[in-house]
Protein backbone atom coordinates (compact mmCIF):
# COMPACT_ATOMS: atom_id res chain seq x y z
CA UNK A 1 0.00 0.00 0.00
CA UNK A 2 1.25 3.46 -0.83
CA UNK A 3 1.02 6.86 0.87
CA UNK A 4 1.09 5.44 4.35
CA UNK A 5 -1.56 2.87 3.50
CA UNK A 6 -3.95 5.33 1.87
CA UNK A 7 -4.14 3.66 -1.56
CA UNK A 8 -4.49 0.03 -2.64
CA UNK A 9 -3.01 -0.27 -6.13
CA UNK A 10 -4.65 -2.84 -8.37
CA UNK A 11 -2.88 -4.55 -11.30
CA UNK A 12 -5.17 -6.04 -13.93
CA UNK A 13 -3.95 -8.96 -16.06
CA UNK A 14 -6.06 -8.82 -19.24
CA UNK A 15 -7.65 -5.64 -20.51
CA UNK A 16 -10.54 -7.03 -22.55
CA UNK A 17 -14.25 -7.07 -21.72
CA UNK A 18 -13.95 -7.75 -17.99
CA UNK A 19 -10.57 -6.06 -17.44
CA UNK A 20 -11.75 -2.77 -18.94
CA UNK A 21 -15.04 -2.99 -17.06
CA UNK A 22 -13.21 -3.48 -13.79
CA UNK A 23 -10.88 -0.55 -14.44
CA UNK A 24 -13.79 1.71 -15.45
CA UNK A 25 -15.96 0.90 -12.43
CA UNK A 26 -13.06 1.13 -9.97
CA UNK A 27 -12.38 4.66 -11.24
CA UNK A 28 -16.05 5.68 -11.40
CA UNK A 29 -16.75 4.35 -7.90
CA UNK A 30 -13.50 5.49 -6.31
CA UNK A 31 -15.22 7.90 -3.94
CA UNK A 32 -17.80 5.44 -2.64
CA UNK A 33 -15.20 2.68 -2.28
CA UNK A 34 -13.05 5.04 -0.25
CA UNK A 35 -15.99 5.74 2.04
CA UNK A 36 -16.59 2.01 2.54
CA UNK A 37 -12.97 1.00 2.96
CA UNK A 38 -11.26 4.09 4.35
CA UNK A 39 -8.59 3.76 1.64
CA UNK A 40 -8.49 4.50 -2.06
CA UNK A 41 -8.56 1.52 -4.39
CA UNK A 42 -7.20 2.42 -7.80
CA UNK A 43 -6.24 0.50 -10.92
CA UNK A 44 -2.66 1.38 -11.83
CA UNK A 45 -1.49 -1.08 -14.48
CA UNK A 46 -2.97 -3.57 -16.96
CA UNK A 47 -1.55 -6.14 -19.35
CA UNK A 48 -2.59 -7.22 -22.85
CA UNK A 49 -1.26 -9.51 -25.56
CA UNK A 50 -1.32 -6.91 -28.33
CA UNK A 51 -0.36 -3.34 -27.42
CA UNK A 52 -1.38 -2.02 -30.85
CA UNK A 53 -5.05 -3.05 -30.56
CA UNK A 54 -7.69 -0.30 -30.21
CA UNK A 55 -9.37 -0.34 -26.79
CA UNK A 56 -12.79 1.12 -25.99
CA UNK A 57 -11.49 2.45 -22.68
CA UNK A 58 -8.63 4.93 -23.04
CA UNK A 59 -6.03 4.79 -20.27
CA UNK A 60 -2.53 6.21 -19.96
CA UNK A 61 -0.29 4.33 -22.43
CA UNK A 62 2.33 3.87 -19.69
CA UNK A 63 -0.17 1.87 -17.66
CA UNK A 64 -0.48 -0.82 -20.38
CA UNK A 65 2.13 -3.53 -20.90
CA UNK A 66 2.42 -6.81 -22.72
CA UNK A 67 4.52 -8.19 -19.86
CA UNK A 68 2.02 -9.52 -17.29
CA UNK A 69 4.79 -10.81 -15.01
CA UNK A 70 6.12 -7.26 -14.61
CA UNK A 71 2.79 -6.33 -12.99
CA UNK A 72 2.78 -9.36 -10.72
CA UNK A 73 6.36 -8.57 -9.62
CA UNK A 74 5.82 -4.81 -9.35
CA UNK A 75 6.22 -3.69 -5.71
CA UNK A 76 3.95 -0.78 -6.65
CA UNK A 77 1.00 -3.18 -7.18
CA UNK A 78 -0.76 -4.50 -4.07
CA UNK A 79 -3.49 -6.71 -5.51
CA UNK A 80 -3.84 -8.64 -8.77
CA UNK A 81 -6.97 -9.21 -10.87
CA UNK A 82 -6.48 -12.10 -13.28
CA UNK A 83 -8.92 -11.32 -16.11
CA UNK A 84 -7.01 -12.69 -19.08
CA UNK A 85 -8.46 -16.21 -19.26
CA UNK A 86 -6.63 -19.31 -20.47
CA UNK A 87 -4.97 -21.87 -18.27
CA UNK A 88 -1.21 -22.26 -18.09
CA UNK A 89 0.02 -18.68 -18.25
CA UNK A 90 -2.75 -17.57 -15.89
CA UNK A 91 -1.78 -20.35 -13.48
CA UNK A 92 1.91 -19.37 -13.45
CA UNK A 93 1.09 -15.69 -12.91
CA UNK A 94 -1.37 -16.49 -10.13
CA UNK A 95 1.12 -18.69 -8.29
CA UNK A 96 3.79 -16.01 -8.64
CA UNK A 97 1.40 -13.40 -7.23
CA UNK A 98 0.78 -15.66 -4.20
CA UNK A 99 4.53 -16.16 -3.77
CA UNK A 100 4.87 -12.36 -3.81
CA UNK A 101 2.29 -12.13 -1.01
CA UNK A 102 -0.44 -10.70 -3.25
CA UNK A 103 -4.06 -11.78 -3.23
CA UNK A 104 -5.63 -12.53 -6.60
CA UNK A 105 -9.19 -11.85 -7.75
CA UNK A 106 -10.20 -13.92 -10.76
CA UNK A 107 -13.07 -14.53 -13.21
CA UNK A 108 -11.28 -17.54 -14.70
CA UNK A 109 -13.50 -20.60 -14.16
CA UNK A 110 -11.53 -22.74 -16.60
CA UNK A 111 -8.38 -22.28 -14.51
CA UNK A 112 -10.16 -22.97 -11.20
CA UNK A 113 -11.83 -26.05 -12.62
CA UNK A 114 -8.51 -27.46 -13.79
CA UNK A 115 -6.14 -26.28 -11.03
CA UNK A 116 -8.39 -25.09 -8.19
CA UNK A 117 -7.06 -27.63 -5.73
CA UNK A 118 -3.47 -26.45 -6.18
CA UNK A 119 -4.34 -22.75 -6.33
CA UNK A 120 -6.51 -22.64 -3.21
CA UNK A 121 -3.89 -24.62 -1.32
CA UNK A 122 -1.03 -22.34 -2.42
CA UNK A 123 -3.04 -19.22 -1.58
CA UNK A 124 -3.69 -20.58 1.89
CA UNK A 125 -0.01 -21.45 2.42
CA UNK A 126 0.99 -17.94 1.30
CA UNK A 127 -1.61 -16.37 3.62
CA UNK A 128 -3.31 -14.53 0.75
CA UNK A 129 -6.75 -14.77 -0.84
CA UNK A 130 -7.86 -16.26 -4.13
CA UNK A 131 -11.30 -14.75 -4.74
CA UNK A 132 -13.53 -15.94 -7.56
CA UNK A 133 -17.08 -14.54 -7.35
CA UNK A 134 -17.01 -13.53 -11.04
CA UNK A 135 -16.09 -17.03 -12.15
CA UNK A 136 -19.64 -18.41 -11.80
CA UNK A 137 -22.82 -16.80 -13.15
CA UNK A 138 -21.37 -13.34 -13.92
CA UNK A 139 -23.15 -10.73 -11.82
CA UNK A 140 -25.05 -13.15 -9.53
CA UNK A 141 -23.39 -13.36 -6.09
CA UNK A 142 -23.68 -17.14 -6.08
CA UNK A 143 -20.32 -17.94 -4.45
CA UNK A 144 -20.99 -15.68 -1.50
CA UNK A 145 -24.52 -17.02 -1.08
CA UNK A 146 -23.37 -20.64 -1.21
CA UNK A 147 -20.39 -20.22 1.11
CA UNK A 148 -21.76 -17.67 3.52
CA UNK A 149 -25.49 -16.96 3.43
CA UNK A 150 -26.59 -20.62 3.10
CA UNK A 151 -23.91 -22.05 5.38
CA UNK A 152 -26.52 -23.87 7.51
CA UNK A 153 -27.55 -26.10 4.59
CA UNK A 154 -26.58 -29.23 2.77
CA UNK A 155 -27.57 -29.33 -0.89
CA UNK A 156 -29.26 -32.37 -2.43
CA UNK A 157 -29.86 -30.39 -5.62
CA UNK A 158 -28.33 -27.38 -7.29
CA UNK A 159 -29.30 -26.73 -10.87
CA UNK A 160 -29.62 -23.93 -13.32
CA UNK A 161 -28.47 -21.90 -16.25
CA UNK A 162 -24.77 -21.20 -15.97
CA UNK A 163 -23.91 -19.85 -19.41
CA UNK A 164 -25.19 -16.49 -20.60
CA UNK A 165 -24.18 -16.90 -24.24
CA UNK A 166 -26.09 -20.11 -24.82
CA UNK A 167 -29.16 -18.86 -22.95
CA UNK A 168 -29.11 -15.68 -25.02
CA UNK A 169 -28.92 -17.72 -28.23
CA UNK A 170 -31.69 -20.16 -27.26
CA UNK A 171 -33.97 -17.34 -26.11
CA UNK A 172 -33.67 -15.41 -29.36
CA UNK A 173 -33.99 -18.56 -31.47
CA UNK A 174 -37.22 -19.36 -29.65
CA UNK A 175 -38.75 -15.89 -29.39
CA UNK A 176 -37.79 -14.53 -32.83
CA UNK A 177 -37.05 -17.65 -34.85
CA UNK A 178 -33.57 -16.12 -35.26
CA UNK A 179 -30.75 -18.27 -36.65
CA UNK A 180 -28.03 -19.62 -34.41
CA UNK A 181 -25.26 -17.87 -36.36
CA UNK A 182 -26.91 -14.42 -36.32
CA UNK A 183 -27.51 -14.51 -32.59
CA UNK A 184 -24.01 -15.79 -31.90
CA UNK A 185 -22.60 -12.77 -33.78
CA UNK A 186 -24.69 -10.44 -31.57
CA UNK A 187 -23.53 -12.26 -28.41
CA UNK A 188 -19.93 -11.72 -29.49
CA UNK A 189 -20.55 -7.98 -30.00
CA UNK A 190 -22.13 -7.76 -26.56
CA UNK A 191 -19.00 -9.23 -24.92
CA UNK A 192 -20.71 -12.42 -23.67
CA UNK A 193 -18.68 -14.99 -25.57
CA UNK A 194 -15.43 -16.63 -24.45
CA UNK A 195 -12.28 -16.05 -26.55
CA UNK A 196 -12.71 -19.73 -27.47
CA UNK A 197 -16.44 -19.74 -28.26
CA UNK A 198 -16.61 -23.55 -28.30
CA UNK A 199 -16.42 -23.32 -24.49
CA UNK A 200 -19.83 -21.61 -24.49
CA UNK A 201 -21.48 -23.54 -27.31
CA UNK A 202 -20.38 -27.03 -26.26
CA UNK A 203 -21.33 -26.72 -22.60
CA UNK A 204 -17.75 -26.65 -21.31
CA UNK A 205 -17.94 -23.18 -19.76
CA UNK A 206 -21.11 -24.16 -17.89
CA UNK A 207 -19.39 -27.38 -16.83
CA UNK A 208 -16.43 -25.43 -15.40
CA UNK A 209 -18.92 -23.48 -13.29
CA UNK A 210 -20.83 -26.60 -12.24
CA UNK A 211 -17.58 -28.21 -11.10
CA UNK A 212 -16.80 -25.15 -8.95
CA UNK A 213 -20.29 -25.16 -7.39
CA UNK A 214 -20.06 -28.92 -6.77
CA UNK A 215 -16.74 -28.41 -4.99
CA UNK A 216 -18.07 -25.63 -2.79
CA UNK A 217 -21.25 -27.53 -1.94
CA UNK A 218 -19.75 -31.00 -1.50
CA UNK A 219 -15.95 -30.68 -1.17
CA UNK A 220 -15.24 -32.94 -4.14
CA UNK A 221 -13.31 -31.90 -7.25
CA UNK A 222 -14.98 -33.62 -10.19
CA UNK A 223 -13.07 -34.01 -13.40
CA UNK A 224 -14.71 -32.77 -16.59
CA UNK A 225 -13.89 -36.06 -18.28
CA UNK A 226 -16.10 -37.93 -15.80
CA UNK A 227 -19.28 -35.97 -16.41
CA UNK A 228 -21.84 -35.48 -19.17
CA UNK A 229 -21.06 -32.25 -21.00
CA UNK A 230 -23.28 -31.34 -23.94
CA UNK A 231 -23.87 -28.00 -25.61
CA UNK A 232 -26.55 -26.29 -27.67
CA UNK A 233 -25.42 -26.86 -31.26
CA UNK A 234 -27.92 -29.64 -31.91
CA UNK A 235 -30.97 -27.73 -30.71
CA UNK A 236 -33.14 -26.77 -33.67
CA UNK A 237 -35.98 -24.23 -33.85
CA UNK A 238 -38.27 -27.28 -34.26
CA UNK A 239 -37.06 -28.71 -30.93
CA UNK A 240 -37.80 -25.41 -29.21
CA UNK A 241 -41.35 -25.44 -30.61
CA UNK A 242 -41.89 -29.12 -29.78
CA UNK A 243 -40.78 -28.45 -26.20
CA UNK A 244 -43.34 -25.63 -25.89
CA UNK A 245 -46.08 -28.06 -26.94
CA UNK A 246 -44.94 -30.30 -24.08
CA UNK A 247 -45.24 -27.38 -21.63
CA UNK A 248 -41.46 -26.91 -21.41
CA UNK A 249 -38.59 -24.74 -22.60
CA UNK A 250 -35.21 -26.06 -23.64
CA UNK A 251 -32.43 -24.65 -21.50
CA UNK A 252 -28.77 -25.55 -21.18
CA UNK A 253 -28.59 -26.50 -17.52
CA UNK A 254 -25.97 -27.67 -15.07
CA UNK A 255 -27.27 -30.20 -12.54
CA UNK A 256 -25.48 -31.16 -9.32
CA UNK A 257 -27.22 -33.84 -7.28
CA UNK A 258 -26.13 -35.56 -4.10
CA UNK A 259 -27.77 -38.60 -2.61
CA UNK A 260 -27.11 -38.21 1.11
CA UNK A 261 -27.84 -41.87 1.79
CA UNK A 262 -24.80 -43.14 -0.11
CA UNK A 263 -22.96 -39.83 -0.69
CA UNK A 264 -22.94 -40.39 -4.43
CA UNK A 265 -22.75 -37.20 -6.38
CA UNK A 266 -23.57 -36.54 -10.02
CA UNK A 267 -22.72 -33.47 -12.06
CA UNK A 268 -23.77 -32.85 -15.64
CA UNK A 269 -24.34 -30.08 -18.16
CA UNK A 270 -26.76 -30.65 -21.02
CA UNK A 271 -29.80 -29.20 -22.74
CA UNK A 272 -32.99 -30.12 -20.92
CA UNK A 273 -36.71 -29.58 -21.27
CA UNK A 274 -37.65 -27.62 -18.14
CA UNK A 275 -41.35 -27.18 -17.24
CA UNK A 276 -42.41 -23.57 -17.90
CA UNK A 277 -43.66 -23.26 -14.34
CA UNK A 278 -40.04 -23.29 -13.10
CA UNK A 279 -38.27 -19.94 -12.68
CA UNK A 280 -35.28 -21.43 -14.46
CA UNK A 281 -37.41 -22.09 -17.56
CA UNK A 282 -38.46 -18.46 -17.58
CA UNK A 283 -34.91 -17.16 -17.13
CA UNK A 284 -34.18 -15.75 -20.57
CA UNK A 285 -31.62 -13.81 -22.54
CA UNK A 286 -28.17 -13.38 -21.04
CA UNK A 287 -29.61 -14.05 -17.59
CA UNK A 288 -28.36 -17.00 -15.59
CA UNK A 289 -30.47 -18.65 -12.92
CA UNK A 290 -29.32 -20.92 -10.13
CA UNK A 291 -31.77 -22.93 -8.03
CA UNK A 292 -30.32 -24.17 -4.75
CA UNK A 293 -32.31 -26.65 -2.71
CA UNK A 294 -30.94 -26.62 0.81
CA UNK A 295 -31.87 -28.84 3.73
CA UNK A 296 -32.68 -25.87 5.95
CA UNK A 297 -33.81 -23.08 3.66
CA UNK A 298 -35.73 -25.08 1.04
CA UNK A 299 -35.31 -23.75 -2.47
CA UNK A 300 -33.67 -20.43 -3.26
CA UNK A 301 -33.46 -19.22 -6.85
CA UNK A 302 -31.06 -16.49 -7.90
CA UNK A 303 -31.25 -14.87 -11.32
CA UNK A 304 -29.30 -12.06 -12.92
CA UNK A 305 -27.04 -11.20 -15.80
CA UNK A 306 -24.64 -14.09 -16.26
CA UNK A 307 -22.20 -12.49 -18.68
CA UNK A 308 -21.11 -9.12 -19.98
CA UNK A 309 -18.81 -6.34 -18.94
CA UNK A 310 -20.70 -4.52 -16.21
CA UNK A 311 -22.23 -7.39 -14.19
CA UNK A 312 -18.97 -9.32 -14.25
CA UNK A 313 -16.92 -6.27 -13.25
CA UNK A 314 -19.39 -5.80 -10.38
CA UNK A 315 -18.54 -9.25 -9.06
CA UNK A 316 -14.80 -8.63 -9.47
CA UNK A 317 -15.11 -5.39 -7.48
CA UNK A 318 -17.11 -7.15 -4.76
CA UNK A 319 -14.14 -9.50 -4.34
CA UNK A 320 -11.66 -6.62 -4.40
CA UNK A 321 -13.60 -4.98 -1.57
CA UNK A 322 -13.54 -8.22 0.46
CA UNK A 323 -9.81 -8.67 -0.11
CA UNK A 324 -9.07 -5.07 0.87
CA UNK A 325 -11.21 -5.47 4.02
CA UNK A 326 -9.09 -8.52 4.83
CA UNK A 327 -5.88 -6.53 4.23
CA UNK A 328 -7.13 -3.85 6.60
CA UNK A 329 -8.22 -6.35 9.25
CA UNK A 330 -11.84 -5.32 8.74
CA UNK A 331 -13.03 -8.90 8.39
CA UNK A 332 -11.57 -12.34 8.72
CA UNK A 333 -11.08 -14.47 5.63
CA UNK A 334 -14.07 -16.80 5.23
CA UNK A 335 -13.23 -20.49 5.13
CA UNK A 336 -13.17 -21.87 1.59
CA UNK A 337 -15.25 -24.93 2.48
CA UNK A 338 -17.84 -25.59 5.13
CA UNK A 339 -18.25 -29.23 4.15
CA UNK A 340 -16.01 -32.22 4.75
CA UNK A 341 -13.87 -32.76 1.67
CA UNK A 342 -13.77 -36.17 -0.02
CA UNK A 343 -16.79 -37.78 1.60
CA UNK A 344 -18.59 -38.14 -1.76
CA UNK A 345 -18.05 -40.51 -4.67
CA UNK A 346 -19.34 -40.22 -8.21
CA UNK A 347 -22.79 -41.64 -8.98
CA UNK A 348 -22.96 -44.35 -11.65
CA UNK A 349 -24.92 -43.89 -14.90
CA UNK A 350 -27.58 -46.31 -13.60
CA UNK A 351 -28.18 -44.02 -10.61
CA UNK A 352 -28.80 -40.93 -12.72
CA UNK A 353 -32.49 -41.16 -13.54
CA UNK A 354 -34.90 -39.06 -15.54
CA UNK A 355 -37.16 -38.79 -18.57
CA UNK A 356 -35.80 -38.05 -22.03
CA UNK A 357 -36.77 -36.35 -25.31
CA UNK A 358 -35.61 -37.95 -28.55
CA UNK A 359 -35.75 -36.61 -32.10
CA UNK A 360 -35.18 -39.10 -34.93
CA UNK A 361 -35.23 -38.86 -38.68
CA UNK A 362 -36.41 -42.14 -40.17
CA UNK A 363 -37.67 -43.73 -43.38
CA UNK A 364 -41.44 -43.27 -43.55
CA UNK A 365 -42.39 -46.91 -43.95
CA UNK A 366 -44.67 -49.45 -42.21
CA UNK A 367 -43.36 -50.93 -39.00
CA UNK A 368 -40.68 -48.25 -38.40
CA UNK A 369 -42.26 -46.87 -35.24
CA UNK A 370 -42.89 -50.36 -33.84
CA UNK A 371 -39.25 -51.25 -34.43
CA UNK A 372 -38.13 -48.14 -32.54
CA UNK A 373 -40.49 -48.83 -29.63
CA UNK A 374 -39.23 -52.43 -29.42
CA UNK A 375 -35.61 -51.31 -29.53
CA UNK A 376 -36.25 -48.94 -26.61
CA UNK A 377 -38.30 -51.46 -24.64
CA UNK A 378 -35.49 -54.03 -24.87
CA UNK A 379 -33.29 -51.51 -23.04
CA UNK A 380 -35.96 -50.78 -20.43
CA UNK A 381 -36.89 -47.44 -21.94
CA UNK A 382 -40.64 -46.92 -22.02
CA UNK A 383 -42.35 -44.39 -24.30
CA UNK A 384 -44.50 -41.62 -22.84
CA UNK A 385 -45.44 -39.58 -25.96
CA UNK A 386 -44.87 -39.89 -29.70
CA UNK A 387 -45.41 -37.44 -32.52
CA UNK A 388 -44.54 -37.98 -36.14
CA UNK A 389 -44.27 -35.40 -38.93
CA UNK A 390 -43.86 -36.67 -42.51
CA UNK A 391 -41.20 -34.95 -44.60
CA UNK A 392 -42.46 -35.41 -48.14
CA UNK A 393 -39.32 -34.29 -49.91
CA UNK A 394 -37.30 -37.46 -49.17
CA UNK A 395 -40.08 -39.81 -47.91
CA UNK A 396 -38.72 -39.61 -44.41
CA UNK A 397 -40.41 -38.67 -41.18
CA UNK A 398 -39.35 -36.82 -38.07
CA UNK A 399 -40.35 -38.59 -34.88
CA UNK A 400 -40.30 -36.85 -31.52
CA UNK A 401 -40.52 -39.18 -28.55
CA UNK A 402 -40.54 -38.63 -24.84
CA UNK A 403 -39.85 -41.41 -22.37
CA UNK A 404 -41.02 -42.37 -18.92
CA UNK A 405 -38.44 -42.41 -16.13
CA UNK A 406 -35.34 -44.42 -16.96
CA UNK A 407 -31.63 -43.93 -16.40
CA UNK A 408 -28.55 -42.65 -18.25
CA UNK A 409 -27.16 -46.15 -18.72
CA UNK A 410 -30.31 -47.48 -20.40
CA UNK A 411 -30.88 -44.46 -22.62
CA UNK A 412 -27.28 -44.48 -23.86
CA UNK A 413 -27.61 -48.19 -24.72
CA UNK A 414 -30.87 -47.41 -26.49
CA UNK A 415 -29.30 -44.58 -28.51
CA UNK A 416 -26.47 -46.83 -29.67
CA UNK A 417 -29.02 -49.50 -30.70
CA UNK A 418 -31.24 -46.95 -32.49
CA UNK A 419 -28.27 -45.79 -34.56
CA UNK A 420 -27.92 -49.35 -35.89
CA UNK A 421 -31.59 -49.76 -36.86
CA UNK A 422 -32.26 -49.88 -40.59
CA UNK A 423 -34.31 -46.83 -41.53
CA UNK A 424 -32.91 -44.52 -38.86
CA UNK A 425 -31.31 -41.91 -41.09
CA UNK A 426 -29.34 -39.74 -38.67
CA UNK A 427 -27.88 -40.04 -35.22
CA UNK A 428 -30.81 -39.43 -32.81
CA UNK A 429 -30.88 -36.14 -30.92
CA UNK A 430 -31.33 -36.61 -27.17
CA UNK A 431 -32.27 -34.07 -24.51
CA UNK A 432 -33.03 -34.64 -20.85
CA UNK A 433 -36.40 -33.63 -19.40
CA UNK A 434 -35.67 -32.00 -16.10
CA UNK A 435 -38.09 -32.28 -13.21
CA UNK A 436 -36.70 -30.56 -10.14
CA UNK A 437 -39.49 -32.05 -8.04
CA UNK A 438 -38.87 -35.62 -9.19
CA UNK A 439 -35.22 -35.99 -8.29
CA UNK A 440 -35.89 -37.18 -4.75
CA UNK A 441 -37.36 -40.41 -6.10
CA UNK A 442 -34.34 -41.25 -8.21
Active site residues: 209
Among 78, 133, 174, 200, binds ligand HSE (CB under 6 A): 200
Among 222, 252, 307, 414, binds ligand HSE (CB under 6 A): 307
Residue 100 vs 259, nearer CB to ligand NAP: 100
Contact track, ligand HSE, 161-180, x by CB under 6 A: --xxx---------------
Residues 168-197 that bind ligand NAP (CB under 6 A): 191-192, 194-195
**Least distance (Å) between residue 347 CB and ligand NAP:** 28
Should residue 231 be labelled a site residue for ligand NAP when binding is judged by CB under 6 A? Answer: no
Q: What angle do the packed helices 17-28 and 309-327 form, to 10 degrees?
A: 60
Residue 45 vs 251, nearer CB to ligand HSE: 251
Q: What angle do the packed helices 368-378 and 408-420 form, to 10 degrees?
A: 140
Among 22, 68, 266, 368, binds ligand NAP (CB under 6 A): 68
Which runs of E-coded beta strand occur in 285-411? 287-294, 298-305, 345-346, 353-363, 383-391, 396-403, 406-407
Q: Which stretch binds ligand NAP (CB under 6 A): 8-16, 113-121, 251-259, 264-272?
A: 8-16
**Least distance (Å) between residue 353 CB and ligand NAP:** 32
Should residue 50 be labelled a site residue for ligand NAP when binding is judged by CB under 6 A? Answer: yes
Among 40, 73, 74, 89, binds ligand NAP (CB under 6 A): 89
Among 1, 86, 379, 442, binds ligand NAP (CB under 6 A): 86
**Least distance (Å) between residue 75 CB and ligand NAP:** 20
Report the partner that residue 12 touches, choosing among ligand HSE, ligand NAP, none (CB closer than 5 to 8 A by kind). Answer: none
Among 19, 85, 138, 139, binds ligand HSE (CB under 6 A): 138
Among 138, 254, 268, 354, binds ligand NAP (CB under 6 A): 138
Q: Which residues would be at the binding site for ligand HSE (CB under 6 A)?
A: 138, 163-165, 192-194, 200, 205, 306-307
Q: Which residues would be at the binding site for ligand NAP (CB under 6 A)?
A: 14-19, 47-50, 53, 68, 83-86, 89, 107-108, 134, 138, 191-192, 194-195, 307-308, 312
Amino acid sequence: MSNESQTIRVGILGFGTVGQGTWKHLVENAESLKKILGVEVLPVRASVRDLTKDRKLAIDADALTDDSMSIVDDPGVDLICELMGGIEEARVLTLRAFANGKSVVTANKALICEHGEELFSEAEKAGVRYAFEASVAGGIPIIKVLRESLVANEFPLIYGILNGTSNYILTRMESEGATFDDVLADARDLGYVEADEALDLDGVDAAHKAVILAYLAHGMWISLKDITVEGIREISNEDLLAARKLGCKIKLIGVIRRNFENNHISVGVHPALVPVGEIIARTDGVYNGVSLTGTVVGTVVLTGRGAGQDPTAGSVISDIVDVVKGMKGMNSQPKLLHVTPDECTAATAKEICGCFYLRLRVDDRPGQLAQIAECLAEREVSLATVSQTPKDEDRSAQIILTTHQTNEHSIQLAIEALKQLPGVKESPVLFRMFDPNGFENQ
